[in-house]
Amino acid sequence: MSPSHVTCAVLFVDISGSTRLYETLGDEQALARVGRSLAMLSAVCADCGGKVIKTAGDGAMCMFETADAALRASRLMQEKTAEQLAPGAPGLGIHIGCHFGPVLENAGDLFGDTVNLAARVAGLAKSGQIITTADTVARLSPGLAERARKLDGVPVKGKSKAVMIFEFLWQDSDDLTALGTRIDQGRASRLILNYEGREWLFEGPGELTLGRDGTCDITVGDRKASRLHARVERRREKFLLVDHSSNGTWVQIDGETEVVVLRREELMLRASGLIGLGHGPADGQGAPVKFSCR
């Protein structure tokens, strides 16, 4: 069967809290509990006219013909999950991300930018949240669109502009965080990095990678550095350094004595300083990466 192009809402739903559940209840009981939750989510998807494309681990990818159907299913999934929470017992939550757009349907699976963006949006959602995009909200009926609360623009890899995200409010409650007025920051700040005589200017969006692999934007010749050691990404006016390495990323801000060591963590870069990939930036084992935020 040849691939077909369709336009639909892609929804990712993931279970939160399963790790704690396995620790508390044990493998068999926790597995059964997660299985019941996934079965419930699949049933809600079908009841709302959707289709479960696949499940993986503690989550599922679903598709819906309309944005309304996807958001109604999202709300019902959250409501039914909340109903299953027993007072004082370890519980499971879910977080959901949704995006509407064109996809390529082939051999029972979905492919394309819409799928990737829906997954990225789901990753931004916290337990109990439904996060969606401006493209999805634009296709909602007025009654559902009123439940969409604009949050902010987020940088997405491969996108030249930030993607505007919304939280879809599934609860009828006044207990919501009030959003303050956002101040226009004007032109984004710049990050300048130097390594062994070369200079890189990073203004975003997107990301800049550091590591031993030749595909990295900044390739370092240090055996203690991982192939893909770290990345820098811009989130609004801030630059975040994210560690992916085996030996850690060491950061020293100019004028401060403390050295921060990141291990699968992230740190907001500020002012100027040194970055050591796999060791301290001033221990003489290898040239550090210098940075300056302007």
Indicate whether 182 belongs to any domain: no
Residues 157 and 198 in one domain: no
Number of domains in the chain: 2
Indicate whether 173 belongs to any domain: no
* CA separation, residue 86 to residues 91, 208, 229 (Å): 7, 45, 43
Asked which of 109, 133, 168 is the last residue of a domain, the reply is 168
Residues in Cβ contact with 272 at an 8 Å cutoff, skipping those fewer than 6 apart: 253, 254, 290, 291, 292, 293
Q: Residues 38-53: pLDDT tens digits?
A: 999 999 999 999 999 9
Gap between the Cα atoms of 267 and 245, Å rounded = 14
Indicate whether 22 belongs to any domain: yes
Q: Residues 224-279: pLDDT tens digits?
A: 999 999 999 887 678 899 999 999 999 999 988 889 999 888 888 989 999 999 99
What was the pLDDT predicted at 183? Answer: 43
Residues 232 and 93 in one domain: no
Residues 132 and 208 in one domain: no
Indicate whether 174 belongs to any domain: no
CATH label of the domain that carries residue 38: 3.30.70.1230
Please tell me what DSSP assigns to residue 278. S
Residues 65 and 100 in one domain: yes
Q: Residues 117-140: pLDDT tens digits?
A: 999 888 888 888 999 999 999 999
Is the distance from CB of 234 to CB of 155 less than 8 angstroms?
yes
CATH label of the domain that carries residue 261: 2.60.200.20
* CA separation, residue 259 to residues 218, 229, 250 (Å): 22, 18, 7
Ordered DSSP codes for 228-247: S-EEEEEETTEEEEEE--SS
For residue 85, pLDDT beyond 70:
no
For residue 188, pLDDT beyond 50:
no
Domain that holds residue 133: 4-168
